[in-house]
Amino acid sequence: MTITIRATVGKGGVNHPDDVRKIQELLNAIPENSGGPRPRLAMDGLCGRMMLDSILRFQSRPFFGAAYGWIEPGGRTLQKLNEFAGGRVSRPTWIERNLGTASALREQKLPLLFSHMWELIQRKHIHNAASFPPPLNTELSHLAQPGRGFPPELLIGIFWEETNFRNVPGQVSKFWGFGQVDKGRIGELNVTFGKNFLEAALLTDNEMSVEFASTFLASWLKTRGNREAALKGYAGVGHEGIVAHWKRCEAMLLSFELGRILVLTDTLVEAIKRALAAARPSEVFPPVFAFA
């Protein structure tokens, strides 16, 4: 259910106690590493300093835009709070309107929003790449020369093509997570790279799923010695052709310079949708799911 407010909440706002409590509830539903308050807010209906700081912290997230300290009825901040708290009523509505009401489809995990996926990759893949010893850390880095490294834009292409941003088991049961990595490699990756991946947690811990795929890429780079061969190894025998789709999506996203973008405009959203479609045209989960 989408939460609404009657009037502005925050700096200079009307701050009706009922509205403030609703915003406190929404903010508390967001993990700290995604912009949620620390510590959690008291549900007291009072808009004090901690409440104002929490609003500003959430508005300071990537892709958000200016942090101004108040929340308007029907505004962008309230929309994003509802999305992060799980109140995305437009997504199942979109399914029913465009794809029918088959229960099997509704029971599937919906894709993460593009902004969520991007931030997960920024946080886990970049940190993971930096943790490897040289020269592997440099070769994996998003700071490597174009066409040589494994930037977040490439992982976006891989994750959309593989699972449409869904942390799920694949059609072949041994392949798991956003990047559809062979879960049988968990022990090997843990020993080789000093990780602590757990099979029981891979499908519930999105950060672990991203790091697992990132580490799998590192293992192929270490074995094959160059980016192209590593990507083909990741794709698997008989599936090497999909690498071209990943790279096409990567090139399109790189041209947008997403790292410098504060706000996703409608024009940019449409361009990102085209990039995702280049990675994987999908009739079941088209790119609109990454934004709707």
Domains of the chain by range and CATH? Answer: 9-87 (no CATH), 114-290 (1.10.530)
Mark out the alpha helices in 164-204 (DSSP H runs). Answer: 186-193
Tell me how far the alpha carbon of residue 286 is from its chain's centroid.
Answer: 16
| pLDDT mean across residues, the chain | 83
Q: Are 5 and 22 in contact (CB under 8 A)?
A: yes
**pLDDT tens per residue across span 88-112:** 333 444 444 444 443 434 445 778 8
Tell me: cis bond preceding 133? Omega within 30 of 0 counts.
no
- pTM for the model: 0.67
Phi, psi (degrees; rounded to nearest 5) at 169: -75, 150
**pLDDT tens per residue across span 155-196:** 999 999 999 999 998 876 789 999 999 999 999 999 999 999
The helix/strand/coil state of 182 is strand
Residue 219 corresponds to which amino acid? Answer: S
Taking every pair of Cα atoms in the chain, the longest distance, rounded to a whole number of angstroms, is 61
DSSP string across 25-81:
HHHHTS-GGGT--SSPPPSSS---HHHHHHHHHHHTSTTT----SEE-TTSHHHHHH
- β-strands 70-71, 175-176: how paired? unpaired
Among all chains, which residue has been given the structure tokens 């940019």? 268
